[in-house]
Structure 1
Amino acid sequence: MRLKNAVAKIELYGWRAIKLCLMLGLIELPQFALSLPKLLLKYVNGPIVYILTWMIFIGGYVAVTFILFTYLQRRHPERKIIWRPKGKEINTIIIGFIVLMSAKMIIGSFMTQQTANDAAIEKLFKISVNTSFVMFFMTAIAAPVVEELVFRGFLMDYFFTDQPIFAILLSGLIFGSIHSSTNFISWLMYVVMGIILAATYNKEKNLAANISLHFLNNLLPSIVFLLSSLHQMLK
């Protein structure tokens, strides 16, 4: 009987791991649109290339968000994804943001250069004016939504549901590992960010609050990258 239960549990978590991998692949698909201008300009000229890029990019993220949102709403209809902010939740976002910024400053003080993830994002911002705005939409708006739906909404409600500490650590580890890192310190920074976001979700069980916190974290760097790239390309 014990062996049968153990096998059943392994099969269950194996299937859940496959679902998680599929979702991780799903959130990467819309980024395919970033390579379209370079490919299509060989065959098509004019604004149609950039219109297609935006349509595929935004359409992809809308589709991914809809799939994840629908899945989570069916699984946990009581969880808040769209909500009217209340005082307590706003306080949680503010405190979470302060903790996030403090952690980034402390860990960042041990770094001698920009993280590989930020360097890659900044490089993409500078491809063209059109790509700059596409990247701003992705980093400031789309990424906080889909990443919170996957790493908090799905992952934390699917693995170690009765062991929140393990769920928080797993969420942070996977979140940190999907962001490009070339050294331990930069990897640790993203892991700690993931753990803080996961702890916030574990406390409030409110995806909208998490998305807002993630949005605030991404907004300022996205604005800096956008203005810097536009200044270089338009001067």
Structure 2
Amino acid sequence: MKRTGDQLTIITRILILIGMFLLVLFVPSILQIGGLFQKTPGVIYIAAILFLVVYIGIAVLGWWILKPNLSKPQFKRFSSEEINTVFKTYGLILVLNIVFNYFMKIVFNSGSTENQANINSLLSSNVVTLIVFGFAGAFIAPFVEEFIFRGIVINYFFKHRAWWLNVVLSGIIFSLGHASSNPISFALYATMGMILAYTFKKSGQIKMSIAVHMLNNTVAMIITIVSLLFM
């Protein structure tokens, strides 16, 4: 029988979170390693398939760990009110991204985060990686990251304490998983993580934070790919 976070020791909960965190950090390296052997026929395709299989596997594992902690169905059809909330929340994240990037440009003369630079580098390495990583970033990453950084963190830590503690923790851990070269960049991802955590916690529906995250990633990925291909 699978156990909830309340039934696990704090050490076990920390180890589970660290393990899932390391898996998320590791998975892009599969494509990076494959890119080193572009001249070897088939290697990049094998790397792309392995990347997708492992990434989907992490999503399935994350859901398997999270599911016992959820007391109600999570993936019912979206209501019009929920759709409205998703777009409003995305709008808030978009505005905050613009503000943070503006101050990052003013203070550090940096036009984008280190995480975005890493994504650009990976996407521009070859066409196969661009397609596979672009798809995964838009449609798989939101499930993986929400199951881990929202679902597991919210249900494993400070669940019965002040409501904001695990929201803040979720944002900080989420930001640690995204490369930052300065405090403003770190604050950007932390704030986004906190907004997503609040969205999940308030609604009780992981689908809500997944939808916001997916909308954000899809728009960002389209803009990034278009800029790499045509600008």
Shorter-chain TM-score: what band?
A: 0.7 to 0.9
**Which AA in structure 2 matches 1:178?**
G
Give the alignment's TM-score, normalised by structure 1: 0.86
**Cα distance in 1 between the residues matched to 2:118 and 2:33:** 18
How far 1:57 moved relative to its partner?
A: 1.2
User: What is the match of residue 150 of structure 2?
Assistant: 152
User: What is the match of residue 108 of structure 1?
Assistant: 101
User: What is the match of residue 223 of structure 1?
Assistant: 222
SS of equivalent residue, structure 2 residue 103: coil
User: What is the match of residue 3 of structure 1?
Assistant: none
User: What is the match of residue 13 of structure 2?
Assistant: 16
Structure 1 residues 75 and 228: alpha-carbon distance in aligned structure 2, compared to 1, 3 A threshold: same
**Cα distance in 2 between the residues matched to 1:200 and 1:187:** 20
Aligned pair partner of 1:68 in 53, 62, 68: 62
Given that 1:33 and 1:56 are in contact with CA atoms closer than 8 Å, whether structure 2 keeps it comes out as yes
**Which AA in structure 2 matches 1:111?**
M
User: What is the match of residue 3 of structure 2?
Assistant: none
User: What is the match of residue 5 of structure 1?
Assistant: none
Number of residue equivalences: 219
Identify unmatched segments of 5+ residues in structure 2: 1-5
**Cα distance in 1 between the residues matched to 2:230 and 2:94:** 26
Q: Which runs of 4+ in 1 moved over 6 A?
A: none
**Which AA in structure 2 matches 1:136?**
G
Q: Does 1:88 align with 2:81?
A: yes
Given that 2:35 and 2:44 are in contact with CA atoms closer than 8 Å, whether structure 1 keeps it comes out as no
Cα RMSD over matched residues?
1.9
How far 1:69 moved relative to its partner?
A: 1.3
Identify unmatched segments of 5+ residues in structure 1: 1-8
How far 1:184 moved relative to its partner?
A: 0.8
Given that 1:133 and 1:226 are in contact with CA atoms closer than 8 Å, whether structure 2 keeps it comes out as no
SS of equivalent residue, structure 1 residue 214: helix
User: Which is greater in Rg?
Assistant: 1
User: What is the match of residue 141 of structure 2?
Assistant: 143
Q: Aligned ranges for residues 1-235 of structure 1 at < 5 Å? A: 12-41=9-38, 44-45=40-41, 48-76=42-70, 78-80=72-74, 82-112=75-105, 113=110, 114-162=112-160, 163-231=162-230
Give the alignment's TM-score, normalised by structure 2: 0.87
